[in-house]
Chain A
Amino acid sequence: MNIMLRRFLGLSLLAALVGLGGCATTGGTPGDPLEGYNRAMFGFNEGVDKAIIKPLASGYKTIMPEVARIGVSNFFANLGDLWIGINNILQGKVGAGVSDFGRFAMNTTAGILGLFDVASNAGLEKHNEDFGQTLGRWGVGSGAYVVLPILGPSSVRDGLSLLAVDWHGDPLWYVGNIPTRNELIGVRAVDNRANLLDLSRLAEEAALDHYAYVRDAFLQRRRSLIYDGDPLPEPDPAKTSESGESKDRYTSARAETELALARITTQWGERVITAAGEELTPAQEFSGAAAQPVAARPEAAGVSGTVYEPRIPLNYEALLVASGEVRDGLARTSLAP
């Protein structure tokens, strides 16, 4: 059943990406080329949510005592920490990755199979990572916004990551007994939805156009997650009235890439140091991101709102030496401010 479900999801995604995009010309929102399909799927998901998932989640929230619900959420969150740790390491954030494994070890033992999040109290913060974020960190653009069947808001990059990669990092899919596995996945879905009841109500109340509100919140959220809460600042059109906001979305994927690159100041010598002073591991060093064009953070150039696309000339190294950026034979320089 799950294989069929996954096939269905995969096919739908494929259909969304390849075929249905064509009938999306009615939308007209720049940066959302699949709007026609997306709105239809969003409506379908809303229907399913209203008819099945939301009532289940509300019922679950009503009958389960809060302590028990927190235990359930903690249990699933604990299992997720392993994959989060792996993704942190893939992104070169070794410290954070080790902390995630530490969380898992501590919560599985002292936290009784993850029912209690003792690690958070001990100062090991929970993180939010997945393979889509890892790709984003490596410089892969998000592609078009896509609403997946049942799974909801996503993008080409994040949707493919979710369906092709993240699934393998989810311990629940390795539970041998199929009915048990399905039950666990079902409970997790209901528990997740229950945790989002307040938030989804707020979003619905706040939105003029629910679809657009959720889409734009999703895109902002993902952008923020990829840079762990420290993304490029939004251009402020109150100051630079030239830069249209539709351009934001057009360029946001590119801006993502460029920020990732800007953070990697350079990588000659043995060490790679980001603008934030964070050291990168070979995993990130050889991720390919470093080989791509390096851009200064727009705000560093004092022109927030404009995205530059400078290319590294082939004789980059020589230029750096000539410009005095490389000193004392240390061969380490900084393109960042």
Chain B
Amino acid sequence: MMKLFFALCFFLFATTVSAQELAPDAQVKKITNEVIDIIKRDKDIQAGNRKKINELVEAKVLPHFNFSRMTALAMGRNWPKANAEQQKVLVNEFRTLLVHTYSGALSTYKNEVIEFKPLRAATGDADVTVKTQVKRPGTEPVSIDYGMEKTPAGWKVYDVVVGGVSLVTNYRETFNAEIRDGGVDGLIKSLAGKNRSLETQASAKPK
């Protein structure tokens, strides 16, 4: 009886561990399929309901993103110039902007087929690129690659590269220029202003 109990405990333990330690490509596949299933079933999202898309992204996608790493990556050599408080604000503002972009991109999804490429990584790698492709007839497939790193909380996405364009590092030159002109606070101000204008835009014409 005791044996059975321990076996059961071990089994439960093993399954929770394996659920947490999903391979990065398997994790991307799982989340992508979940999100697409929801979009396919939800007429509001297909019609472009931003509030619903944002909720979906908040619940399903964002927990797997590492926004402080993303912000550091976008800031490049300027990242250490921001103090802890500024860094916190920057991460928050950049997160809002990226989520808006990501949600906007999701709302344009139209039954494209997503293909998951086999992961090319050695066991023990803590930093991998998970490659996927969005296929549409008539145009060349668009690649979406996820830069992922292993953290104590599981694999986290720190870069999203669409068709060779990193949604993160594409900001680097702009951030540089902002910091050159107005310092870190200038950048914070610009980001906050951008987010506010997007917010008023969205509430001005609710879809």
Contact = CB atoms under 8 A, between A and B. Distances in A.
B76 A208 contact: no
A220 B164 contact: yes
B163 A221 contact: yes
Interface range on chain B (Cβ under 8 Å from partner): 35 or more
Say whether chain A's binding surface is mostly helix, strand, loop, or mixed: helix
Interface in A1-58: 28-29
Contacts of B165: 217, 220-221, 224
Interface string B140-179: 1101000000000000000000011111011111111110
B79 interface: yes
A212 interface: yes
B101 A77 contact: no
B100 A249 contact: no
Nearest to B158: A238
A231 B161 CA distance: 12
A206 B73 contact: no
Given A234-B166, A234-B169, A202 B138 contact: no
A202 B164 contact: no
A72 to B, nearest CB: 10
A117 B164 contact: no
Nearest to A234: B169
B69 interface: yes
A209 B73 CA distance: 18
Nearest to A107: B138
A66 to B, nearest CB: 9
Interface stretch (A120-128, A174-182, A278-286): A120-128
Contacts of B72: 238
Interface string A217-252: 100110111000101001011100111111011000
Nearest to B170: A216
Contacts of B77: 237, 241-245
A29 B101 contact: no
A245 B176 contact: yes
B108 interface: yes
A207 interface: yes
Contacts, number: 112
Central interface residue in A70, A73, A229, A249, by most chain B CB within 10 Å: A229
Contacts of A212: 173-174, 177
A254 to B, nearest CB: 18
B164 A238 contact: no
A231 B164 contact: yes
A257 interface: no
A250 B97 CA distance: 28
Contacts of A234: 166, 169
A231 B73 CA distance: 18
Contacts of B169: 220, 234, 245
Nearest to B191: A208
B198 interface: yes
Contacts of B201: 205
B124 interface: no
Contacts of A241: 77, 79-80
A208 B179 CA distance: 13
A213 interface: yes
A237 B104 contact: no
A292 B105 CA distance: 42
B137 interface: yes
B97 A206 contact: yes
A195 B165 CA distance: 18
Contact of A77 (B139, B164, B191): B139
B110 to A, nearest CB: 9
Interface string A69-102: 0100110010000000000000000000000000
Nearest to A118: B137
A198 interface: yes
Contacts of A209: 174, 177
A231 B163 CA distance: 11
B190 interface: yes
Given A207-B174, A220-B170, A245-B76, 16 more contacts: A121-B137, A195-B139, A205-B101, A206-B100, A206-B101, A208-B174, A217-B170, A220-B166, A224-B163, A224-B164, A237-B76, A238-B73, A241-B80, A245-B173, A245-B176, A249-B173
18 contacts: A117-B137, A120-B137, A206-B97, A207-B174, A212-B173, A215-B173, A216-B173, A216-B174, A220-B170, A224-B164, A224-B165, A225-B164, A229-B143, A231-B164, A234-B169, A237-B73, A245-B76, A245-B173
Interface of A: 28-29, 70, 73-74, 77, 117, 120-121, 125-128, 195, 198, 201-202, 205-209, 212-213, 215-217, 220-221, 223-225, 229, 231, 234, 236-238, 241-246, 248-249
6 tightest Cβ-Cβ pairs between the two chains A and B: A224-B164, A237-B76, A245-B76, A206-B101, A117-B137, A126-B140
